[in-house]
Amino acid sequence: MTEELSIVAENKCFGGWHKRYTHRSTALNCAMTFAVFLPPDAAEGAPVPAVYWLSGLTCTEENFMQKAGAMRVAADLGLALVAPDTSPRGDDVPDDPAGGWDFGKGAGFYVDATEAPWSRHYRMHDYVVNELPALVERHFPVTGGRAISGHSMGGHGALVCALRNPGRYVSVSAFAPIANPSAVPWGEKALGHLLGADRARWREWDASALLAEAREHLPTLIDQGDRDTFLETQLRPEVLKHAAEAAGYPVTLRMQPGYDHSYYFIATFIEDHLRHHAKALGAAG
């Protein structure tokens, strides 16, 4: 590695390697941390495709790698996993002026802010779609084959990244995504700060609105627990389902009885999602 990346930690796992790095982000104008899992083939230098994972509110790059149980499956399928942090960090980065947990550091919402003071740092969409993949593909044995997935706020991010960037990914999936952010409290708060008061601009970052204009139809898998306490007030998957049906977009939405919003839910179905992506990426398994 060059000095562009500084390693924080590395752990051998299922014959591959889990590693965490820091680097200076141009898009976010701050230092950022991300995690990568390299399956055995990649650890030996053979290029493999990558699945990008976007985590939810209050999370970091560590939550998914530690809790999802994804590395065993990724090792078997020959997939690299890449998990960025959920927002810019640092003393110079503005935070929620109300001191809340649902916006600001740890809650960047994967959009490119246009309003001061947020626009100086909160450009997570550009970071996830452009800067981070370029960095990963420059420094690690991964191909240009990319898929994207995420949870909650990160599920919203995954869907929007795929919908706004035709040709960038071959498949998308989400766990309990904020499916209609322009019409729920979490999204209204974040988008109001980051994009301003004009709600028409919010729709440019709302998967349920973007589906109608999608120029590319990717295989899309969504899992949602029916005991998720945020289901009715914050997530609204039924809006996304109806938008997909109207647009003829291939979304598979599975309501999972008894499951909540936690990583227990994610760990239960992560293998399905990784196999969904492996098929689209032409990976093993």
- Residues with a catalytic annotation lie at 152, 228, 261
Residue 201 exposed, middle or buried by CB count within 10 Å (0-12, 13-18, 19+): middle
Give the span between the Cα atoms of 15 and 20, in whole angstroms.
Answer: 17
Of 110, 215, 101, 100, nearest to 159 by C-alpha is 110
Contact call for residues 77 and 274 (beta carbons, < 8 A): yes
Measured in degrees and rounded to the nearest 5, phi and psi for residue 20 equal -120, 140
State the greatest distance between any 2 C-alpha atoms of the chain, in Å, as a whole number.
Answer: 51
Q: Which residue has the tokens 């600001």?
A: 104
Contact call for residues 240 and 163 (beta carbons, < 8 A): no
Contact call for residues 37 and 66 (beta carbons, < 8 A): no
Helix (H, G, I), strand (E, B) or coil at 97: coil
Helix (H, G, I), strand (E, B) or coil at 233: helix
